[in-house]
Amino acid sequence: MSKAKVGVINVTGYAGVELTRLLYQHPGVELASVTGRSAAGKRLGEVFPHLASIELTIEAEPGEVDLAFSAMPHKESAGQVMPLLDHGVKVVDISADFRLKDATEYQQWYGFTHPAPQLLKQAVYGLTELYRSQVASARLVANPGCYPTGAILALAPAVKAGLIEPEIIIDSKSGISGAGRTLNLQTHFAEANEDATAYALDGHRHLPEIVQELERLSPKQALSITFVPYLIPMTRGILTTGYASLASGKVPVDKKGRRELFQLYQDFFKDEPFVKVVEFPPHTKHTWGNNLCLIHPTIDIRTGRLVVISAIDNLVKGAAGQAIQNMNLMLGLPEVTGLEAVAVYP
């Protein structure tokens, strides 16, 4: 049986180049096309020497493919996606352009009027752990943001079970690759090295995505979420910590409650190939280069508060790996295909 042909739109960003690396070694598809207007006409290895073994020329426009990944920036991605869908091509969009269901939120959070609000209802939010069956039958999948992936997976079991009060605090510490490949002063080595800083205190663009998906798990309860992201001087990884007061009477606030909470999380994710509930606080390095999300839930017995920590690689489970996980389902391939690499250490 012939392999499905897939393509990457905008190979020159970090998510696009990571997709290309993973797809090249994927046994179930053929990487047939990569685009990047700033590098069109060049061999892939000229732009990215570590990919020199991939015999592809970067194109200005997508070639003939069965499924495309759009790694374009927000605002720009929707314009690339719409004609592909019109031609029957399945799409996994890595930008934010189809993640939010309320079109009016794009003006508030991203500063543009959505050009295809009718597609927001069709797009499936591509967190496979929550929407596996919908992803499998989708034409358009909105790949989750990196921060929301770590935050939603960390809090989903507790929110769905009604274990916590609606006021939730999330802090997430990200490596610099999460800011993208475009040059800017904040991510200049001399500015970012030996430094850590919080940003977007008035509201990060990923906040409405987090709220949308957690409230879907608890539709009778409006959540009040504070989300503070941090930039820290490493290349890859996101470490997220979620805090919330435990709802009265739901779980004992003692060591027995900790065991019950741990079991709840294990049961919630028991069949998930890429989520592991662990008995120790995870390190970002434990997920470096692979598609895992490691989660450690516990109870602060002194305050009666849930504390849950997750770790992901922002370029794999937070972007390219999750996108391929979605692609596998959309093409009827085993979900883990091409994604079973272990973490790089040290």
- Verify that 278 and 157 share a domain, yes or no: yes
Same domain (yes/no): 283, 154: yes
- Catalytic annotation, pick one of 4, 67, 127, 146: 146
Q: Which of 105, 122, 139 is the last residue of a domain?
A: 122
CATH code of 84's domain: 3.40.50.720
C-alpha radius of gyration, the chain, whole number: 20
| CATH code for position 248 | 3.30.360.10
In this predicted model, which residue has the larger pLDDT, 34 or 38? 34
**What's the confidence (pLDDT) of residue 217?**
97
Cα(122)–Cα(328) distance, rounded to whole angstroms? Answer: 19
CA distances from 288 to 49, 173, 313 (A): 21, 15, 5
Same domain as 208, residue 100: no
In a domain, 131, yes or no: no
pLDDT at 1 over 90: no
Q: How many domains does the chain have?
A: 2
Domain with 102, as residue range(s), is 4-122
* CA of residue 124 relative to chain centroid, distance: 14
Q: Are residues 86 and 183 in the same domain?
A: no
Residues 169 and 309 placed together within one structural domain of the fold: yes
3-state SS string for 41-79? CCEHHHHCHHHCCCCCECECCCCCCCEEEECCCCCCHHH
Q: Is residue 129 part of a domain?
A: no
Torsion angle in degrees (nearest 10) through CA of 336, 342, 344, 346: 150
Whether the Cβ atoms of residue 290 and residue 313 lie closer than 8 Å to each other? yes
Is residue 136 domain-resident?
no
Same-domain status, 34 and 172 = no
d(CA 63, CA 80): 13
Task: Report how far apart, in Å, the C-alpha atoms of 261 and of each of 87, 156, 251, 256 are.
Answer: 47, 13, 8, 9
In a domain, 331, yes or no: no
Q: Is the pLDDT of residue 105 over 80?
A: yes
Could you tell me which residues are beta bridge partners of residue 305?
245, 300
Q: Please, which pLDDT band fits residue 40 given cuts at 50, 70 and 90?
A: very high
Q: Are 252 and 278 in contact (CB under 8 A)?
A: no
Domain match, 96 and 9 both: yes
Assigned token pair, 305: 């508060």
Q: Is 57 in the same domain as 167?
A: no
Distance CA 119, CA 98 (A): 8
Position 213 in a domain: yes
The token pair that represents 101 in the structure block: 């269901």
pLDDT band at 88 (very low <50, low <70, confident <90, very high): very high
User: In the predicted model, what is the mean pLDDT of residues 316-331?
Assistant: 98
Strands 140-142 and 197-198: unpaired
Residue 183 pLDDT grade (very low, low, confident, very high; cuts 50, 70, 90): confident
Picking from 122, 137, 156, the residue at the C-terminal end of a domain is: 122
| Residue 26: closest CA among 54, 52, 47 | 54
What's this model's pTM, rounded to 2 decimal places? 0.97
- Are residues 96 and 172 located together in one domain of the fold? no
User: C-alpha 131: how far from its chain's center?
Assistant: 14
Would 269 be classed as within a structural domain?
A: yes
Within a domain: 295: yes
Distance of alpha carbon 102 from the chain centroid: 20
Looking at every residue in the chain, the average pLDDT score rounds to 97
Structural tokens at position 29: 């598809």
CA dihedral sign of residues 113, 324, 151, 175? negative
Average pLDDT over residues 214-224: 94
Token reading at 223: 């959540």
**Statement to judge: residues 240 and 285 lie in one domain:** yes
Q: With pLDDT > 90 as the criterion, what percentage of the chain qualifies?
A: 97
Do 165 and 34 sit in the same domain of this protein? Answer: no
* One domain, residues 156 and 262: yes
What are the structure tokens assigned to 210, written together?
A: 């987090």
293 catalytic per annotation: no
Report the alpha-carbon distance of residue 258 to residue 27 in Å, rounded. 41
Residue among 63, 1, 62, 68 at smallest CA distance from 28:
1
Residue 217 within any structural domain of the chain:
yes
Q: In 3D, which of 257, 16, 284 has the Cα closest to residue 158?
A: 257
**In the predicted model, what is the mean pLDDT of residues 304-325?**
98
